[in-house]
Amino acid sequence: MNNSLKFTLVASATLVTSLLPSFASEDLYKTKCLMCHQAGGVGIPNAFPPLAESEWVNGPAENLIRIQLRGLTGEITVKGKKYKSMMPPNVAMTDAEIASVLTYVRSNFGNKAGAVTADMVKALRDEVGKPMLTVKDLKDPEKAAAEEKKKEPAKEETKKEETKAEPKKEETKEKE
């Protein structure tokens, strides 16, 4: 087999493999979430909150993981509207499945949040069996976003300081 054909086969296999988690995540969403949260993550008015462009979905991933593991009951305000319903826990899902479906939701329906990993889910797996969560048990997404913004200037300042501390390549060569 020539090198060009080998490269083509490897590249094709890599592409197919990279797409599988996306399809699997969408299938999980359709199986586990669609009935209540609907196509496009729009939810059901006055019953089940939307996931689309939701401050909760775009907020701390820990909230979503804990909701998957313990469920959620009581009132929650999403995009300015109040919902009072119950979401059962999804403890039968594996860590990888929870991570996959949460990553799918956090990167679709107008959401732009980071990925959730199986290790992140595993770290919170001891939540299983505890009472269902209420909003009071979760991190407020607006406060969490404000905290992140406060940290950003400090991170930028640290980067600037690190850059100043690094000798330039020309200066290093001149000294040699």
- Higher-pLDDT residue of 109 and 145 is 109
CATH class for the region spanning 3-138: mainly alpha
Of 24-33, 101-110, 119-128, 165-174, the range with the lowest mean pLDDT is 165-174
Q: 173 by DSSP, 3-state: which?
A: helix
A 10 A CB-CB count for 62 gives: 16
- Cβ pair 63, 56 in contact under 8 A: yes
Distances (CA, A) of 78 to 15, 82, 157: 37, 6, 34
Of 14-18, 34-38, 120-124, 152-156, the range with the lowest mean pLDDT is 14-18
Instruction: Output the CA angle 92-141-54, nearest 5 degrees.
Output: 70
Asked if residue 143 has pLDDT above 70, the reply is yes
Could you read off the pLDDT of 10-58 as tens digits, one per residue?
A: 444 434 434 444 556 899 999 999 999 999 999 999 999 999 999 999 9
Confidence at residue 108, expressed as pLDDT on a 0 to 100 scale: 95
What amino acid occupies position 70? R
Asked if residue 117 has pLDDT above 90, the reply is yes
Runs of H (alpha helix) within 78-168:
95-106, 118-123, 141-165
Q: Of the spans 5-9, 76-80, 159-163, 164-168, which averages the highest pLDDT?
A: 76-80
Could you read off the pLDDT of 81-109 as tens digits, one per residue?
A: 999 999 999 999 999 999 999 999 999 99
User: Which long-range contacts does 141-144 make (Cβ < 8 Å, 24+ apart)?
Assistant: 141/55, 141/56, 141/58, 141/59, 141/60, 141/63, 142/55, 142/59, 144/59, 144/60
What tokens appear for 161 in the block? 């300081």
